[in-house]
Structures are given as structure tokens and as C-alpha cells.
């Protein structure tokens, strides 16, 4: 994204089909995620391997998910946590660069403080060199985010806190105000999101 002087990647999150992945690769995405984690292990493996083969000529990175990371509105089940030995086989057989792991995080807001299975994360790290990804980063306490990085997480997905910050800020701006010009209300909301992301970057870069 040199034209915007931004150092960043264009990444497809939770790609649900081969067709969507292909469209994103053709459009120039740097990275694609195929999420077949709701399928049986063998099928998830075969689909993810296919995407790695598709992405190779494009030089794009591939992320897959192994285990069950609760989607919005679902509760997580420990039985669905990523098994370290399966992670080793999965990465070796598919050749994925990044692997989203299920260790107790969930998408959306948490009703109570999430407990991450950090010992399991260390075991997974011992089994594979793939970039390990933590989905459901919103609401995880700072010290737990840092601990997860120390134990092998390379990428943290954060969406809910960002969306919430933007909309909450907009709601405040609209109170007692009948502004109709988006150009006046969007910049402060964007500024609030920038502050949040800067803070999170400070947290995770803290040694
Ligand atoms: Zn996710």
C-alpha cells in the first residue's frame, strides 16, 4: 500500500469459500484466511492445503483455523480447543503460514474475563513454527495479551473493541446535536479509534 504511505497488509479474514479466496487473490490481497474450522479435521486440512496451493503463485500468505473459536453469540467449549499434536500435523501437511488457535478466546464481548489456556498455547508453539493467531482479542486484559505473545502468538485480531469505540463515539457526538454532515462527525470517531489502536500497539510492543 505504498501509494498511501501505509505499512499494512490487505488480509481476508474468515474466508468461507474457495471462490472468495480466489477473488481476493486475483484482487491482490497479501494474505488470505480460509476458515474451514467447522468441518472435520481431514476436510479442514484438505481445504486449507488447497488454498495454500492456490496462493503460492501469488506469493500470498495463508491463515487457517484449527479448533473452535466461538463466533458472535456462541459460547466456547473446551472440547473444541486446538490439540497441539493436531496443530503439528495440520501445519506440516497444509503448509499454512499462520494458524488461528482455539485456546479460550471468543469473538465479540466477553461476559466475564476470558481465561486463556496458556499452557496449551506453549504446547502448540512447541509443535509448530507457524505464526499463531489469536482471534477474539477484544476484552482480553493487557497482561494476558502480553503473556500470549510471550508464549507464541504472532498476530492478534481485534474488531469488537474498534467497532464499539467508533459507534459509541458517534452516539455521543449525536446527542443534543442534529449535525447531518458526516465529514464533521466521522473525524472525531476515527480519532478515538486511532487512540485505541495506538494504545493496543503500545501494550503488545511492551517488552
Ligand atoms: Zn476471527
Distance CA 21, CA 55 (A): 9
Ligand 1 centroid vs 5 CA: distance in angstroms? 27
- Exposure of 191 in the CB half-sphere (CA atoms within 13 A): 7
Q: What are phi and psi of 94, to 5 degrees?
A: -90, -35
Q: Is the pLDDT of residue 1 over 80?
A: no
Phi, psi of 124 (to 5 degrees): -65, -45
Distance 194 CA to ligand 1 centre (A): 21
CATH 3.20.20.70 domain position(s) in the chain: 2-157
Strand order in 61-66's β-sheet?
A: 11-15, 31-34, 61-66, 98-101, 131-134, 153-156
User: For residue 2, what pLDDT band results from cuts at 50, 70 and 90?
Assistant: low
Distance in angstroms (rounded) separating the CA atoms of residues 205 and 207: 6
How would residue 76 be classed by pLDDT, with cut points 50, 70 and 90? Answer: low
- Asked about 13 being catalytic, the answer comes back as yes
Cβ partners under 8 Å of residue 36, min gap 6: 43, 44, 47, 48, 64, 65
Average pLDDT over residues 49-77: 90
How far is the centre of ligand 1, averaged over its atoms, from the C-alpha of 71 (Å)?
Answer: 8
pLDDT at 77: 67
At 140-169, the pLDDT tens digits run 999 999 999 999 999 999 999 999 999 999
CA of 97 to the centre of ligand 1 (A): 16
CB 89 within 8 A of CB 64: no
| Pairwise pLDDT comparison (179 vs 186), residue with the higher score | 186
Give the distance (Å) from ligand 1 centre to CA of residue 177.
Answer: 36
The answer on pLDDT for 188 being more than 80 is yes
User: Model pTM greater than 0.85?
Assistant: yes
Distance CA 44, CA 65 (A): 8
d(CA 87, CA 124): 7
Q: What is the pLDDT of residues 125-138, one digit of tens each?
A: 999 999 999 999 99
**Distances from the Cα of 68 to the Cα of 45, 121, 181, angstroms:** 14, 14, 42
What pLDDT score was predicted for residue 83? 96
Per-residue confidence band for 98, with pLDDT thresholds at 50, 70 and 90: very high
Q: Is residue 87 classed as helix, strand or coil in its secondary structure?
A: helix
- Residue 23: CB atoms within 10 A of its CB come to 14
In angstroms, what is the span from residue 147 Cα to ligand 1's centroid?
Answer: 20
CATH architecture assignment, domain 2-157 = Alpha-Beta Barrel (3.20)
pLDDT higher than 80, residue 11: yes
Residue 35 Cα to ligand 1 midpoint, Å, equals 9
Amino acid at each position: 500500500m505504498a501509494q498511501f504511505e501505509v505499512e499494512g497488509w490487505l488480509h481476508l479474514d474468515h474466508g468461507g469459500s474457495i471462490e472468495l479466496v480466489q477473488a481476493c487473490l486475483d484482487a491482490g490481497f497479501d494474505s488470505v484466511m480460509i476458515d474451514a474450522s467447522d468441518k472435520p479435521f481431514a476436510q479442514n486440512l484438505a481445504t486449507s492445503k488447497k488454498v495454500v496451493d492456490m496462493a503460492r503463485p501469488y506469493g500470498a500468505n495463508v491463515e487457517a483455523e484449527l479448533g473452535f473459536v466461538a463466533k458472535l453469540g456462541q459460547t466456547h467449549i473446551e472440547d473444541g480447543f486446538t490439540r497441539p499434536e493436531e496443530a503439528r500435523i495440520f501445519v506440516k501437511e497444509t503448509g499454512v503460514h499462520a494458524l488461528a488457535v482455539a485456546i479460550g478466546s471468543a469473538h465479540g464481548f466477553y461476559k466475564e474475563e476470558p481465561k486463556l489456556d496458556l499452557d496449551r498455547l506453549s504446547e502448540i508453539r512447541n509443535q509448530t513454527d507457524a505464526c499463531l493467531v489469536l482471534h477474539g482479542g477484544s476484552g482480553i486484559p493487557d497482561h494476558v495479551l502480553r503473556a500470549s505473545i510471550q508464549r507464541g502468538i504472532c498476530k492478534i485480531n481485534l474488531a469488537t473493541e474498534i467497532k464499539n469505540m467508533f459507534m459509541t463515539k458517534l452516539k455521543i457526538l449525536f446527542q443534543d446535536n442534529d449535525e447531518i454532515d458526516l465529514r464533521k462527525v466521522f473525524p472525531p470517531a476515527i480519532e478515538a479509534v486511532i487512540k485505541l489502536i495506538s494504545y493496543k500497539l503500545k501494550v503488545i510492543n511492551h517488552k
